[in-house]
Structure 1
Amino acid sequence: MPPEQRRHAVEAASRRILERNWVATPGFTVPNRRKYPWQWLWDSCFHAVAWSRLGDPRGVRELESVFSLQLPSGFVPHMGYWAKPKASLALWHVRGRSDITQPPMYGHALRVLAERGFDVEHLRDAATAGLDYLFEHRRDPGSGLIRVVHPWETGCDDSPRWDGWHAEPFKERRWNAKKRELVRSIRIRDGAACGNPGFDVGSAGFSALVAFNACELAAFTRNTDLLSNASKVVEAIDAHWVDSRHTWSDVCLAGPHNTSAVRTLDGLFPVLVSENPRYVDVAFAEIFEPRSFWRPFGPSGTSADEPTYDPGRYWRGDAWPQEIYLLMVAATRSGRHAEAVRLAEKLLEGCVGSRYAERWNPETGAGLGAIPQGWAALAAEATPGWDGREPQPAGLQGS
């Protein structure tokens, strides 16, 4: 198929997925109608990016619905239960939303939408408040990293980095029970999760996404406080580089008292922000190393030479489109255009080959999880013929 024809096919497929999963009131995209009928924070941010790539103003509405759940403190919940608010009470303390948060990808989404010509000025204060909350209430004074108080906050639910919290070998059913137990031990202040005696981690990957989104938001708001706070977090992240493991380490603050440097792909998210060129070079080399992350169908979520690597299991080695997209952005922003193109090719190949799955097996390309999944529409960001530089703004529709 010629590149232009393939581009149109990918964009059409991405639009069909988003259209199928769109909820008109209040205006957001469910990840998958059967498996994931609620709104998730970072999913919606990636959906907004994909909508904007297609020139559709629903990306703005998606972000508006994210911030409609925001608390006065600035805290942004990771889930909204719009269709059935009381369903949240099975896990959380309040109706209609969760008590925890998720990677604040709204900083990046707002920058992308603004650069593509969408009016998002009315959301800048809410986004700033969301990031300020994390800097003020979640930065650990000892490590300098941003704390997460439940594995779900990272989005990487079953990561091998959490293996210290359960008995070996890993058993999904046992870990699912443990995650629910960790929900019950969360401490709440002013309606938001603030701590957890059972799980409190200074996460290198989550910290990197907070710093990155602060920098992204500051790129169009010119907020120097965001940049200053991000710089402090980046300095802390780089202080936790582990040379022997070629990765950045977490710091366990409650739970097993050790650091976690299992080589997972999210552990390399600091390539988005690190100010140490050597660390970034080593990390990118790991991403493209066939004995580590670079598998036949894209970067694996866990390095292939880790004893915990399982390419077919949830967050134990499978490939995720949003992770590959973030690495593609990191490569683009750091001028690694050839690497960005290689990542884009794997993102496109993985999404199309898996029928736009939630995730896929990086060894076989087989789709895993929900099919189709909303964030697989990020394939539209990796259209054939792209040269690894910033994509051109899409034409606006109805804006």
Structure 2
Amino acid sequence: METLRASTLNGTTGSWTTTPGFTEVESGLRAAATRVLDENWLGSSTVPSRGLYPHQWSWDSAFISFGLRHHAPERARLELLTLFSAQWPDGRVPHIVFNPDTPDEAYFPGPGFWHTGATSGLVQPPIHARAVWEVHQAAEDQSSAAEFLATLYPKLVAWHAYLLGNRDFGGRGLVSIVHPWESGMDNSPAWDGPLAHVRPVDPAQFIRRDLEHGDAADRPSDVDYGRYVRLAAGYRDVGYRDERWPLFGDGFTVEDPAFNALLADAELALGRIAGALGLPGAAAGHRETAARLTQALVETLWDDEAGFFFARDVRTGERAREYTCGGLIPLVLPGLPVAPALLATATGPRFGVGRVLGAPSYDLTAPGFDAARYWRGPSWFNVGWLVRLGLLAHGERALAERLRSDLLEAAWRADFAEYTDPLTGEGHGSRSFGWTAALTLDLLAESR
């Protein structure tokens, strides 16, 4: 397959272009991506990777379902149904659903840490409603598709109600995350400030399983990981009761632009689902909620001078003035009033979208930019996929096609790596990564 590569990537001008052999390359890439998803399938859900991530992760499953709908639609539905079968009575969708056939010691923190039985107690970004809608749209059997929507709609409503009702710690209509893991962008520099007051747990008190599957230089430091453990244990010890969390001395309470933008986008998807189910009043309500979230996002987290969305530490009221990829995700919102300025930042020197590979996770011009370290520089396939949705939402079709080409190139060259160097395309982290393969299939489906 090496000889079938359709382009040359040099970090600034590479793109996946139509050349002799392109169809063969595309066919080979589709087959390879399908193979990854088949190998990572457990029977009712998909693991992100067989080594480092041996369980079901919440937003991974949502992204994976976008690709599965083109390959195995019934598995895409089961993926999401399995995840929501683990939904808590309060409506939260846990960020990990543990595989009972996997030994507890295979992953830390495993089920024994959380004291909840089969899941963790944290959450991840709410992209699920969009996933449910897109999986429904792909179904050939409309009767089963309608049943799928009818089953998951009330669960999605409860999920969003939990977030909007329990997590508005700042009182501005935005949802707060209580742990960096809830952002999905664990090691982002945006969390450095809000984490600074958190006392790290001594590394001798836990075993980092992630270092058994990746280079320590690419992963979070022991100090940061110790802070993550402190926060997870603290949230566990208050019984996962959100009303008690602001009283926890070592707490972390942050309004994340990516999380809130994805919730607003998910409300728009819920509006489409409600419409399909013959619930026009509910559909209008979801659209109104999306509009309120978008307004709150702009009023609270947008910096007009910087042309960017910054996370906000609710405890101090201060914005974390770090240019991270989370601030680009609001582009997915079609009615975003500040989209032109945000597009200028995305394509400017800080992120170089369209000139480097994918969408870097951190400011290319920052002294702390590291092209290989977890969420501190590398490009992630799901972020690039979301940014591309944002480009399409705001009419940037040529740039969106360029980003699509670069994402396919990255998947091909790096063996569906977890993340890649945005300057060279070198892969890092796990290979045969679930959402990289799945979103590759989703992008390739546009060629058919």
Q: So what's the TM-score if we normalise by structure 1? A: 0.89
Shift of 1:231: 1.6
Q: Does 1:219 align with 2:272?
A: yes
Residue 342 of structure 2: aligned partner: 283
Q: Does 1:209 align with 2:262?
A: yes
Q: How does 1:82-121 map to 2 (within 5 A)?
A: 82-84=99-101, 87=104, 88-117=110-139, 119=145, 120-121=148-149
Q: How does 1:235-384 map to 2 (within 5 A)?
A: 235-239=295-299, 240-254=301-315, 257-273=317-333, 275-277=335-337, 279-294=338-353, 296-377=356-437, 378-383=439-444
Deviations 1:87-122 (A, max 9, x none): 334431311100110011111101111221261222
Return closer, same or farther for 1:96/1:260 CA change in 2, 3 Å cut-off: same
Residue 159 of structure 1: aligned partner: 188
Question: Hey, what's the Cα distance between the residues in 2 that align with 1:45 and 1:192?
Answer: 26
Question: Hey, what's the Cα distance between the residues in 2 that align with 1:93 and 1:274?
Answer: 41
- The structure carrying a bigger helix percent of its residues is 2
What is the SS of the residue equivalent to 1:139? coil
Return closer, same or farther for 1:154/1:187 CA change in 2, 3 Å cut-off: same
Deviations 1:161-192 (A, max 9, x none): 0111239xx97111011111111222677756
Return closer, same or farther for 1:6/1:192 CA change in 2, 3 Å cut-off: farther
Instruction: Answer whether contact 2:40 2:434 (CA < 8 A) is retained.
Output: yes
Question: Hey, what's the Cα distance between the residues in 1 that align with 2:290 and 2:356?
Answer: 35
User: Which deviates more, 207-216 or 2-11?
Assistant: 2-11
Residue 15 of structure 1: aligned partner: 34
Instruction: Answer whether contact 2:34 2:71 (CA < 8 A) is retained.
Output: yes
Deviations 1:357-398 (A, max 9, x none): 011111111111111100011112222975xxxxx7xxxxxx
Question: Hey, what's the Cα distance between the residues in 2 that align with 1:89 and 1:291?
Answer: 40
Instruction: Answer whether contact 1:28 1:65 (CA < 8 A) is retained.
Output: yes
Residue 23 of structure 2: aligned partner: 4
Instruction: Answer whether contact 2:418 2:427 (CA < 8 A) is retained.
Output: yes
Return closer, same or farther for 1:72/1:288 CA change in 2, 3 Å cut-off: same
Question: Hey, what's the Cα distance between the residues in 2 that align with 1:77 and 1:340?
Answer: 32
What is the SS of the residue equivalent to 1:235? helix
Residue 229 of structure 2: aligned partner: 180
Residue 7 of structure 2: aligned partner: none
Residue 279 of structure 2: aligned partner: none
Deviations 1:10-38 (A, max 9, x none): 221111000000001xx000000111001
Question: Hey, what's the Cα distance between the residues in 2 that align with 1:175 and 1:4?
Answer: 45
Question: Hey, what's the Cα distance between the residues in 1 that align with 2:323 and 2:117?
Answer: 37
Q: So what's the TM-score if we normalise by structure 2? A: 0.80
Instruction: Answer whether contact 1:99 1:193 (CA < 8 A) is retained.
Output: no
Question: Hey, what's the Cα distance between the residues in 2 that align with 1:191 and 1:385?
Answer: 42
Question: Hey, what's the Cα distance between the residues in 2 that align with 1:299 and 1:235?
Answer: 25
Q: Does 1:78 align with 2:108?
A: no
Residue 142 of structure 1: aligned partner: 171
Instruction: Answer whether contact 1:6 1:384 (CA < 8 A) is retained.
Output: no
Residue 61 of structure 2: aligned partner: 44
One-letter code of the match for 1:53? H
Return closer, same or farther for 1:190/1:221 CA change in 2, 3 Å cut-off: farther
Question: Hey, what's the Cα distance between the residues in 2 that align with 1:171 and 1:211?
Answer: 30
Instruction: Answer whether contact 1:148 1:202 (CA < 8 A) is retained.
Output: yes
Question: Hey, what's the Cα distance between the residues in 2 that align with 1:141 and 1:171?
Answer: 28
RMSD, matched Cα: 2.3
Instruction: Answer whether contact 1:301 1:320 (CA < 8 A) is retained.
Output: yes
Shift of 1:298: 2.0
**Unaligned ranges ≥5, structure 1:** 387-391, 393-399
One-letter code of the match for 1:181? R
User: Which deviates more, 306-315 or 319-328?
Assistant: 306-315
**Unaligned ranges ≥5, structure 2:** 5-20, 105-109, 198-218, 276-282
What is the SS of the residue equivalent to 1:315? coil
Instruction: Answer whether contact 1:135 1:146 (CA < 8 A) is retained.
Output: yes
Instruction: Answer whether contact 1:358 1:371 (CA < 8 A) is retained.
Output: yes
- The structure carrying a bigger strand percent of its residues is 1
Deviations 1:124-145 (A, max 9, x none): 2212211121112122453321
One-letter code of the match for 1:103? P
Instruction: Answer whether contact 2:313 2:319 (CA < 8 A) is retained.
Output: yes
Instruction: Answer whether contact 1:156 1:315 (CA < 8 A) is retained.
Output: yes
Return closer, same or farther for 1:271/1:171 CA change in 2, 3 Å cut-off: closer
Shift of 1:55: 4.6
Question: Hey, what's the Cα distance between the residues in 1 that align with 2:273 and 2:313?
Answer: 34
Shift of 1:252: 0.8
User: Which deviates more, 143-152 or 280-289?
Assistant: 280-289
Shift of 1:59: 0.5
Question: Hey, what's the Cα distance between the residues in 2 that align with 1:90 and 1:257?
Answer: 35
Instruction: Answer whether contact 2:180 2:191 (CA < 8 A) is retained.
Output: yes
Question: Hey, what's the Cα distance between the residues in 1 that align with 2:329 and 2:33?
Answer: 25
What is the SS of the residue equivalent to 1:185? helix
Shift of 1:308: 2.1
Return closer, same or farther for 1:337/1:113 CA change in 2, 3 Å cut-off: same
Question: Hey, what's the Cα distance between the residues in 1 that align with 2:259 and 2:446?
Answer: 32
Question: Hey, what's the Cα distance between the residues in 2 that align with 1:192 and 1:5?
Answer: 53
Shift of 1:146: 0.9
Instruction: Answer whether contact 1:100 1:193 (CA < 8 A) is retained.
Output: no
What is the SS of the residue equivalent to 1:23? coil
One-letter code of the match for 2:45? F
